[in-house]
């Protein structure tokens, strides 16, 4: 049987990667009873992917991730393969996941799920043949046969009984899947899925070539050897050294429009970067940022030694915004020392990547502080579990 899912449209690339981990644990629960396969939801039209001139829709996972690696953890197929195998663009049952209209009473948290009337307006409408039309990852020809709403409160595996007992549909889609929580955040199962999310080789190669050319960084010298088979990769914490540069993730845009206390001014960030370069006796700093052009220009003035991965138009079209995010993260993950942005999932994914590579946590779990912040709490160390 086929499990499909989708996520609230405004959510970005790096939160969606987290939702994949939750759905993977649901699939593992289903596999204990029946034969299921996860259909990977095509990428497209994400808020952060703002390169205007390129069409970014219906993008398969293989553009960003290594599918054989994913398959060593759970059985997955691309959406196009689902269309070919299942006999047409039909999804038999769609469950739109939602909370409980009544909320949850203080102190009485319990895991539960119930078929309930839809709270929000449905993002699906019936056509003249009584089929449901919707976004469906940009595949307009896809149709849903049944749509109902499911109130959920709890971790991903609570919907397993419904999928196993309440519906016999061959293909089931969970929409708004981010409403499910992790079964065990940071546990062995979590890390197995996270480790299986190996970046596509062509993107890692681009990142490695950039490190070598502009940052004097190689796996040999940095002690960051990478095994293609993630199941064989087990590095003792603190063995990785990293390249002779500082890695920085500076999230701007909506993080500053939100006037957040925990985000520094550019001047504040540069001051911190300077002190870190000095402290770690480094001369180069690699910066991943979504800053607008004016801010980039100011950064160049304040920080002339800044190095960025600046794609040509051809590279942008080839790797797309998601691929550029992967390349940026891969380069940050290999730095001698990394500092990121408070509660940014982009920074969190770099933390995990560095954890997998075997860096000392002191070089990883760091963030910028806002100028007005009273107590600047640093990110939590989620230790890898094998």
Q: How far apart are CA 255 and CA 242, in angstroms?
A: 28
- How far, CA to CA in Å, does 111 sit from each of 99, 159, 185, 288? 12, 10, 16, 39
- Yes or no: say if 335 and 283 are a contact pair by the CB < 8 Å rule: no
Choice among 11, 352, 353, 355 that is catalytic: 11
317 assigned to active site: no
State the first-to-last Cα distance of the chain, in angstroms, to the nearest integer.
29
Q: Give just the sign of the alpha carbon dihedral 332, 324, 178, 2.
A: negative
* Contact predicate 42/136, CB 8 Å: no
What's the CA angle centered on 369, arms 294 and 274, to 5 degrees? 65
Contact 338, 367 (CB under 8 A): no
> Are 245 and 280 spatial neighbours (Cβ–Cβ below 8 Å)?
no
Q: What's CA 223's distance to the chain center, in Å?
A: 26
Which residues are identified as catalytic?
Answer: 11
């Amino acid at each position: 049987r086929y499990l499909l899912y989708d996520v609230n449209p405004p959510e970005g690339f790096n939160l969606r990667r987290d939702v994949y981990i939750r759905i993977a644990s649901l699939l593992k629960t289903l596999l204990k009873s029946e034969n299921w396969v996860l259909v990977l939801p095509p990428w497209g039209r994400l808020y952060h992917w703002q390169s205007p001139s390129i069409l970014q829709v219906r993008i398969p996972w293989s553009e960003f991730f290594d599918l054989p690696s994913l398959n060593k953890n759970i059985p997955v197929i691309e959406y196009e393969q689902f269309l070919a195998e299942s006999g047409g663009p039909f999804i038999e049952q769609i469950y739109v996941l939602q909370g409980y209209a009544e909320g949850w009473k203080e102190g009485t948290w319990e895991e539960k799920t119930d078929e309930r009337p839809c709270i929000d307006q449905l993002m699906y409408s019936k056509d003249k043949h009584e089929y449901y039309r919707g976004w469906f990852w940009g595949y307009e020809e896809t149709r849903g046969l049944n749509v109902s709403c499911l109130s959920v409160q709890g971790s991903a595996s609570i919907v397993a009984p419904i999928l196993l007992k309440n519906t016999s549909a061959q293909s089931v889609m969970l929409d708004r899947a981010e409403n499910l929580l992790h079964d065990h955040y940071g546990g062995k199962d979590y890390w197995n899925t996270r480790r299986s999310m190996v970046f596509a080789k062509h993107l890692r190669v681009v990142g490695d070539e950039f490190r070598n050319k502009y940052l004097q960084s190689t796996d040999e010298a940095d002690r960051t050897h990478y095994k293609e088979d993630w199941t064989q990769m087990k590095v003792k914490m603190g063995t990785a050294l990293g390249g002779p540069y500082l890695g920085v993730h500076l999230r701007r845009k909506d993080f500053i429009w939100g006037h957040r206390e925990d985000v520094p001014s550019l001047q504040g960030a540069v001051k911190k970067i300077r002190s870190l370069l000095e402290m770690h006796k480094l001369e180069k700093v690699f910066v991943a940022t979504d800053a607008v052009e004016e801010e980039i220009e100011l950064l160049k003035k304040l920080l002339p030694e800044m190095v960025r991965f600046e794609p040509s138009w051809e590279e942008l079209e080839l790797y797309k915004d998601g691929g550029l995010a992967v390349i940026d993260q891969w380069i940050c993950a290999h730095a001698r020392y990394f500092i990121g942005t408070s509660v940014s999932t982009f920074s969190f994914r770099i933390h995990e990547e560095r954890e997998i590579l075997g860096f000392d946590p002191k070089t990883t779990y760091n963030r910028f502080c806002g100028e007005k912040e009273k107590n600047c709490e640093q990110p939590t160390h989620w230790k890898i579990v094998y």
